[in-house]
Amino acid sequence: MAGALGILLTQFAFLAHEAAHRQILSSAKTNDKLGRLLANGVVGISYQWWMNKHNKHHATPNTVGKDPDIEWDTISFQPADAQRQKGLLKWITERQGYLFFPLLTLEGLNLHFQSIKYLFVAKRVKNRSREITVIVLRVAIYLALIFAFLPIGMAFAFIGVHCGWQPDPSRRPAAHAAWP
């Protein structure tokens, strides 16, 4: 059930993505309204964060230092990034091929965290308070339903599996550099 919900919400995220590209409705304004509703209210991420990040990606796709989709994170796309890792992250990076799918369960949480962080840190965010309100309501309803119907251990397992089935790994492209 958790995996199915993750896949379903990923499809809603794709619809929000298409709305951001002005591909669903006839006007930019109505596409933005639909995209914001789907991203904030259904998926639980900031539409403005997504637009900002995605526009940077499209402006410089797969360009090291410019494309946010290949920035240094837990998974390293560049040897230089991998070599900078220390401690636990170094251990994870050295085994990232084996740990990819377990790490994927945390990527959904990372996307949510990054979008919420953007809403509080970015200087200018269109409809900031509305996005925060809708996302908080969505998260509260989501958690209330899960913890109301599942025992606590199963609830946390459900959330982990659900988050792992949300992100689309094919959207994390390889950078324009040779990996030894």
Which segments of the chain have a pLDDT < 50?
168-180
Answer for the pair 10, 100: CB distance below 8 angstroms, yes or no: no
pLDDT at 89: 86
Instruction: Say if residue 106 is exposed, middle or buried (CB neighbours under 10 Å; 0-12, 13-18, 19+).
Output: middle
pLDDT at 48: 94
Q: Residue 68: which residues within 8 A CB-CB, separation 6 or more?
A: 53, 56, 57
What values do phi and psi take at 140, rounded to 5? -60, -45
